[in-house]
Amino acid sequence: MAKYLVTGGFGFVGSHLVEELIKNGHKVTVLDNLSNGHLNNLKHVSKEVMSYIGNVEQLQSTQFVETFDGIFHLATAPRSSSLKDPMRDIESNCKGMIAVLELAKSHNAKVVFTSNSGIYGSTTDGSAINERSINNPTTPYDANKLVSEYYCKIYHNIYGVRSAVVRFATVYGERQVVNEKLNWRPLVATFVKNVLNNEDVMINGDGEQTRDLIYVKDAVQGVIKAMDSSVVDADIFLLSTNKETSVNQVLIAVEDIVEKKARIKHSEPLKGDIRRMRYDYSKAKSKLGFEPKYTHRDGIMKLVEYSRAHLSN
């Protein structure tokens, strides 16, 4: 039994992680500002979770009753709003990371930081990117995730703070919700919602841009393996499937599963959008024992089931 802090634990990936940690017998504390997380996401385990509502960049090492063995740092401002509000992105993503590392320093806790594969920017030929590929951040969010990775390395080198960094491909699954206020419209969740609710489906550009889609339970598996591993030097691991799925293919899968045709509208391509995405996870496989288990159809089916039960509420 270990004592963990999960920042962003009421969020999409965070809540799946908290569930899994509790299932594995650990004691879990959540810090979340509820900007994109929901108390409902952990209602079914609320008695087993200690919660703090607040911004991660304001956390204080002294505010917690527990001394943590590990911190899963998932709290983040969304990529989609970082161009509109780069200052807010710096608060959440840069200052948030420093606050977590300071806490880890004082608690002697290991950190797993969930970074983002958007750091690489776009490839044009669809070749797989790996951890040694050149960084080419295309939004302030990507740049701030990259600098946060460097903070982890610096805190390890100077203070001995233990950490591991994972870079998620595009995660999707149950509880991922569209948040118009935050300009947060995750691809799969948006399409599922649109098709179930008979709304127009908006496709940016031609829809041939691809994503490496990783189902949330696979992502959670990788995050926990990173914590349990012997990696302590802020080494970086891609958590992905090494498969490309185009936006158009996602929509076709949703239509198939829901058994309904969508009404499609095309808008301008998004500024700074990624054209092709495929990430090689062989480093995570060999060093963490990570291997994704779900195909994109498996995952979309689970999300559709969930959405059918919840969207009507």
Interacting residues with a copy of itself (CB under 8 A)? 83, 86-87, 90, 94-95, 98, 137-140, 143-144, 146-147, 150-151, 154, 157-158, 271-272
Residues 32 and 207: their CA atoms lie apart, in Å, by 34
Closest distance of CB 150 from a copy of itself, Å = 4
Closest distance of CB 264 from a copy of itself, Å = 26
In angstroms, the Cα distances linking 116 to 36, 79, 80, 106, 264 are: 17, 9, 13, 26, 29
Closest distance of CB 144 from a copy of itself, Å = 7
Closer of 70 and 118 to a copy of itself (Cβ):
118
Closest distance of CB 161 from a copy of itself, Å = 13
Closer of 2 and 154 to a copy of itself (Cβ):
154
- Residue 5 has, within 13 A of its CA and on its CB side, a CA count of 31
Closer of 142 and 174 to a copy of itself (Cβ):
142
Closest distance of CB 116 from a copy of itself, Å = 14
Q: Which residues contact 107 (CB under 8 A, 6 or more apart)?
A: 61, 67, 68, 71
| DSSP symbols for 135-190 | P---SHHHHHHHHHHHHHHHHHHHH---EEEEEE-EEE-TT---BGGGTB--HHHH
Closer of 47 and 271 to a copy of itself (Cβ):
271
Closer of 40 and 58 to a copy of itself (Cβ):
58
